[in-house]
Structure 1
Amino acid sequence: MARLHSVLFLSVLCYVATAKKILLSTPRMDDSQSSHVTQTYTYVCHPSRFNGLGLNMEYFGYCNKSLPFEVRAKDLVDRLSLTEKVGQLGDQANGVPRIGLPKYYWWSEALHGVSDFGDTATFFNATIPGATINQGKVREADIDKVLKNLYIVLFRLGHFDGSPQFEKLGKDDICSQSHIDLAIEAASEGVVLLKNDNNTLPLDAQKVKKVAVVGPHANATKVMIGNYAGIPCKYTSPLDAFRQAYGNDNVYYAPGCLDVACRDYSLVFPAVQASKKADAVIIVAGIDTSVEAESLDRENLLLPGYQYELIDQISRQSTTPIILVILSAGGVDISIAKNDSRVSAILWAGYPGEKGGQGIADVILGKYNAGT
């Protein structure tokens, strides 16, 4: 029982954590068991959907909106055979066409009590779960309890009745000014100040009129959202943000590298030249998901390719403050910059999101204090 309670708790927790994802999406009801249904529906209890299945929705209490969710969930579970109940527990819920319950594929989100993350554990076919019930190791009443709680959450989330308050949401609702401001705030608050010699940061507006923005991530966009990310409203790269702050003519840009692999040393020289024209240099370096990701472990903690050489050459030839910004999820060895007095400040920004460039600029320009 303790294990069942743990599974139930984890399942409900995962439901809550992904509630926003469910509500803002339009999941497809998979009624492929029936050749009569051709239309796509976004919630279960739609009269036309039941008609297409040859069913009368009025006969199914779980679709009666006037009833409490607990009563509706019990009605639904009571209609299922033991085999059908077990079929709804996995990450791929089989659905039950005879009562209008569609298939639903949740993959690894554990929303139905079982999670399959791939080759990380042992998962059994129906033989093993069936044997546990036949031998009394798991009671059918325990399965009923798990399913009822899971369906109650689905009722609350609009899976069965729809969510009118969310169905009309458009881009303007998602990309509102308050959401944009929140993305900037999150990016700024995620920046970690690692070094700030002689109070270089924030940059002195009276002394710094022109800046150079260089490095493989100087004009980063998609890199900033990492992976497992949604569709951004609009990117603001570090280059974008500094151009907005100083004006296009006062920002000198040279990537120094084609990408984080940074295999072309010939690109280092233009970045060095750009840095000589500025009152301050912002080097945006680091790694990305081509180096670190799920199923992609790093072999070391070093910056790839010629990134160290880029930092070193700019440090040798620039006479103005140098700020190094690192984009990465995992740790990166930046001891060369930490121990170099010519590198005045170092910031770690992680993968700061679609407005990451603005968040980084706000820290460097003093609109947000990363030292607090």
Structure 2
Amino acid sequence: MQFNRRFNLAPLALLGSLLVSSVAVHAETPAACKDLKKGATCKYLEPSLTPQERAADLVSRMTLEEKAAQLGHTAPAIPRLGVPQYNWWNEGLHGVARAGFATVFPQAIGMAASWDEPMMQKVGDVVSTEFRAKYIEHLHPNGGSDFYRGLTVWSPNINIFRDPRWGRGQETYGEDPYLTSRIGIGYIKGLQGDDPKFFKTIATSKHFAVHSGPESNRHKESVYPTPHDLEDTYLPAFRATVTEANVQSAMCVYNAVNGVPGCANEELMENYLRKSWGFKGYVVSDCGAAANIYREDSLHYKKTPEEGVAAGIKAGMDLICGDYRNHMTTEVQPIINAVKQGLLPQAVVDKSLVRLFVGRIQLGMFEPSLPFANIKKTDYDTAANHAVSLDMAKKAMVLLKNDGLLPLKKAPKTIAVIGPNADSYDALVGNYYGKPSNPVTVVDGIRARFPESKIVYVEGTGLVGPAEPPVPDSAFCLDAACKTPGLKAEHYAGAKLAGAATLTQTDTGAHFEWKGEERESSIRWTGFIKAPASGDYQFRFSSEGGYRVWVGDKLVVDEWGVGDAPSMLAGSTTLKAGEIYPVKVEAFQIGPIGDQKLVWSLPGDAGKEAVDAAKKADLVVFVGGLSARVEGEEMKVKADGFAGGDRTSLDLPAPQQKLLERLHATKKPLVLVLMNGSALSVNWADKNVPAIVEAWYPGSEGGTAVAQLLAGDYSPAGRLPVTFYKSADQLPAFGDYKMDGRTYRYFKGDVLYPFGHGLSYTSFNYAVPSLSTKTLKAGDALDVTVDVTNAGKVDGDEVVQLYITKPNDTANPVLAGFARVNLKAGQTKPVTLKVDARALSLVDAKGVRKVQAGDYTLHLGGGQPKYAKTAAARLSVTGEVELPK
């Protein structure tokens, strides 16, 4: 999902500043409830009744037109009934997103690397508190809320990261259904809370189901998973979030599954979700997916909008998210038409509406005053929440390789910090992010942790091209003779450069910074630029908004932006030394913080400065990888190895690889820090670089977490939630949804770093495991206990992993349990993991899940039995039992 509708938040902030957490949601009786007969009441306003009773009563009082409008994500107010407006669209992938300042946690894939379900619940609790605070701060006087200021959270993304080329894999919890289930359950429990009557927020399991790229054809593709893969891989995490976490919302997918659009797929939404799993909540479409049901240039499953919305709602889709980028509306009039034409029974519409209003009632939106009155409107982006983000960032760090260089024995005199992600805000936040008020980049963190060391920072290279330093102010001038420095700057209200300029002034260059002010504005700079050397130049505007750049009479780059953030699209042109060219830059700004500037790449060897710095240093830290500007959702990226947000190669981008090799040639101690949302085939680095750290997109405190890891302030214990392959050539075709040959469960070749891998600054020993029973009746559960000892001299966490080898299974041993435990040096702790029937089951070719009789082997250790030293126990299962879907 992406969103490009812009709106002015200043009035909301003003209104919100007048409100407190105990605000009265309904200050007076609605008009429709004033003139009832004596003794009659509007049941929907009675807190003593059940949410279902209240919702049914409210829906029964609506007209068809009112009902249809409530089925879109921008649900309008119904004043006569006292129903406030509500926007269902809120993003919370790793913190409150797109709603101004917020605590930014590591990207989802990084949090999965913590292998820490209780920590995920703690994070979810913090995030839900911040959502409540934002809701209170911006609540309308009538109890309504606007975009990204509500309580219905469209997270987590529990799709299986089946192929590392998928750009949105960073949003997931990795490639394993069990790990994804547990991490997702933790986050959902934290988001929804444990209040017996009200949900703190409502979480959404997405994208249901069978969705993991490619991005280029997600609106057109029909995927055909085998019955085995559907039950074995694509559905278990969704099932677990319903049956164990009680998730109250699910999001149906853009694509079709087995020929039927996900948002019109009765088999998925009715048979699996509601009937088999007992789901009681509502289903929302991915944004624009309802239109995919009938669009000619999409799935075209139905011919008209009326037929499309009727098919979706009858199949179980309750709420339609529109997508303004693609002119896909919320389909209000087609719903009305469909009912009048007999295509859609009004009773079916009512059923969906009741589900939606049950959700709003359970959030406390129809109470005399809001629940969770202890939460204040200022309870976001706090120091306490930042501390939780730092803790999670440290837990997410994975030490991929270490030849003894780390932890550093003492502070180096000079540290050269080099690379495109060393001082990158983008590499901290990933995608679907909030705005951190004080982001700590890696170079920031190293400066703070090593105050006695001389820190030299050189970018050296860009992510996928040359380094892009800011264009210096000395290159700009107001006149064609270049006698007067500066640029003409015209500031406009709104993001479209529309109307008269609100301010015209002379700026020293094409750059603009702000902090603390929620803004929506745009700027046009005009003037001239003088080329310092002859050759090819690339221009880009470093921005979180859209931009356009003209040099001479050429539009060099146009990335006006349609989503959460534009790509890092650059454009090239040839300039001659000393010549003066007209220049024009246009850009828009949105949000409470920003640092925008025109950047360029110049002719010549941009890496020489980095190599020179390395030669003079005692330690070199190269910080590279990717960013959400090159991997992500439906993106414009022009670079080798990337396509539409997805990747075509798993290699470290060539410009980074070349510079890394040059740095290695200096013979100085070298640490490679990777910041990325998907696996990288760093084969050369694994052979040549002494220490490699996987930092993911680590959130606002990420630089601190990296620096403390280097210093040895804590022992790293993150574990890979995905396989790092040696090459994309080892994998089946990206668009093939068969699991054979994919992920650690079905891949038979050699890998670079296996799923579950991660090194430590200490070592752990495992005793012989004990089972609560050595002979088990099929369908029953058992406990397995193992004593784990920290055999080193450093305190640290260990991630105890349980894998099971099953009889007649073609898969590799499969993860069936894990626990992250802290052990002091020399300490021993017993760790007990429960193994239920589903963990012991197999899925046959027809999609039937059974526990079979036979001998099973349980492996416990710090990784997969193929790659780590494990302790084993034998289990005999008697009988056979079929498990429900």
Distance 1:253 1:276, change over 3 A: same
1:369 maps onto 2:704 in alignment: no
Deviations along 1:154-185, one digit per CA (max 9) or x if unpaired, are 12323334456277331xx3233332221112
1:174 partner SS:
coil
Structure 2's unaligned 5+ residue stretches are 1-8, 13-17, 36-41, 91-153, 155-250, 252-280, 295-303, 311-334, 468-600, 636-644, 718-758, 760-797, 799-885
1:228 alignment partner in structure 2: 432
Amino acid across the alignment from 1:327: M
2:744 alignment partner in structure 1: none
Verify the 8 A CA contact 1:91 1:105 in the aligned structure 2.
Answer: yes
1:73 partner SS:
helix
1:355 alignment partner in structure 2: 701
Deviations along 1:281-323, one digit per CA (max 9) or x if unpaired, are 111011212211100333433434521121111100133x211
CA distance in 2 between counterparts of 1:49 and 1:300 reads 62
Q: 2:650 aligns with which of 301, 305, 310?
A: 301
Deviations along 1:86-143, one digit per CA (max 9) or x if unpaired, are 4423334355444233443435955963414236831563455269878999765554
1:69 alignment partner in structure 2: 51
Residue 229 of structure 1 deviates from its aligned partner by 0.6
Verify the 8 A CA contact 1:260 1:288 in the aligned structure 2.
Answer: no
Residue 49 of structure 1 deviates from its aligned partner by 10
Amino acid across the alignment from 1:117: C
1:275 maps onto 2:614 in alignment: yes
Q: 1:312 aligns with which of 643, 652, 661?
A: 661
Verify the 8 A CA contact 2:43 2:58 in the aligned structure 1.
Answer: yes
1:251 partner SS:
strand
CA distance in 2 between counterparts of 1:250 and 1:215 reads 17
1:168 alignment partner in structure 2: 376
Of the structure 1 ranges 274-283 and 138-147, higher mean CA displacement relative to structure 2 is found in 138-147
Deviations along 1:189-247, one digit per CA (max 9) or x if unpaired, are 222222112x2222212x74442211111112243101211121321111111111111
Alignment of 1:208-247 (within 5 A): 208-247=412-451
CA distance in 2 between counterparts of 1:166 and 1:27 reads 25
Count of residue pairs brought into register by the alignment: 327
Greater share of strand: 2
CA distance in 2 between counterparts of 1:355 and 1:49 reads 47
Verify the 8 A CA contact 1:217 1:327 in the aligned structure 2.
Answer: yes
Verify the 8 A CA contact 2:675 2:697 in the aligned structure 1.
Answer: yes
1:9 alignment partner in structure 2: none
2:687 alignment partner in structure 1: 339
Of the structure 1 ranges 141-150 and 107-116, higher mean CA displacement relative to structure 2 is found in 107-116
CA distance in 2 between counterparts of 1:168 and 1:286 reads 39
CA distance in 1 between counterparts of 2:360 and 2:26 reads 15
Amino acid across the alignment from 1:369: P
Structure with larger RCO (C-alpha < 8 A, sep 6+): 1
Distance 1:118 1:134, change over 3 A: closer
Residue 68 of structure 1 deviates from its aligned partner by 4.7
Alignment of 1:1-372 (within 5 A): 45-47=25-27, 55=31, 60-65=42-47, 67-82=49-64, 84-106=66-88, 109=154, 110=251, 113-118=283-288, 121-122=292-293, 125-126=305-306, 129=310, 140-161=346-367, 162-163=370-371, 165=373, 168-170=376-378, 173-197=379-403, 199-205=404-410, 208-247=412-451, 249-257=453-461, 261-263=465-467, 266-296=605-635, 297=645, 298-304=647-653, 306-319=655-668, 321-340=669-688, 343-366=689-712, 367-370=714-717, 371=759, 372=798
Residue 57 of structure 1 deviates from its aligned partner by 6.3
Verify the 8 A CA contact 1:194 1:345 in the aligned structure 2.
Answer: yes
Verify the 8 A CA contact 1:183 1:355 in the aligned structure 2.
Answer: yes
CA distance in 2 between counterparts of 1:163 and 1:57 reads 24
Verify the 8 A CA contact 1:44 1:101 in the aligned structure 2.
Answer: no
CA distance in 1 between counterparts of 2:84 and 2:682 reads 53
Verify the 8 A CA contact 2:651 2:681 in the aligned structure 1.
Answer: yes
Distance 1:164 1:347, change over 3 A: closer
Verify the 8 A CA contact 1:58 1:64 in the aligned structure 2.
Answer: no
CA distance in 1 between counterparts of 2:29 and 2:440 reads 43
CA distance in 1 between counterparts of 2:76 and 2:24 reads 14
1:16 alignment partner in structure 2: none
Distance 1:318 1:272, change over 3 A: farther
CA distance in 1 between counterparts of 2:678 and 2:406 reads 24
Distance 1:77 1:69, change over 3 A: same
Of the structure 1 ranges 327-336 and 297-306, higher mean CA displacement relative to structure 2 is found in 297-306
Distance 1:154 1:278, change over 3 A: same
CA distance in 1 between counterparts of 2:634 and 2:364 reads 35
CA distance in 1 between counterparts of 2:417 and 2:432 reads 28
Of the structure 1 ranges 140-149 and 228-237, higher mean CA displacement relative to structure 2 is found in 140-149
CA distance in 2 between counterparts of 1:293 and 1:159 reads 34
CA distance in 2 between counterparts of 1:260 and 1:271 reads 17
Verify the 8 A CA contact 1:47 1:57 in the aligned structure 2.
Answer: no
2:401 partner SS:
strand
Greater share of helix: 1
TM-score, with normalisation over the residues of structure 2? 0.33
1:211 partner SS:
strand
Residue 44 of structure 1 deviates from its aligned partner by 9.5
Distance 1:233 1:254, change over 3 A: same
Distance 1:175 1:135, change over 3 A: closer
1:323 partner SS:
strand
CA distance in 2 between counterparts of 1:26 and 1:154 reads 26
CA distance in 2 between counterparts of 1:326 and 1:146 reads 46
1:4 alignment partner in structure 2: none
1:47 partner SS:
coil
Verify the 8 A CA contact 1:154 1:160 in the aligned structure 2.
Answer: yes
Amino acid across the alignment from 1:165: A
TM-score, with normalisation over the residues of structure 1? 0.73
Distance 1:49 1:212, change over 3 A: farther
Verify the 8 A CA contact 2:408 2:711 in the aligned structure 1.
Answer: yes
Amino acid across the alignment from 2:444: D
2:529 alignment partner in structure 1: none
CA distance in 1 between counterparts of 2:86 and 2:624 reads 42
Amino acid across the alignment from 2:708: D
1:5 alignment partner in structure 2: none
CA distance in 2 between counterparts of 1:290 and 1:116 reads 22
1:202 partner SS:
coil
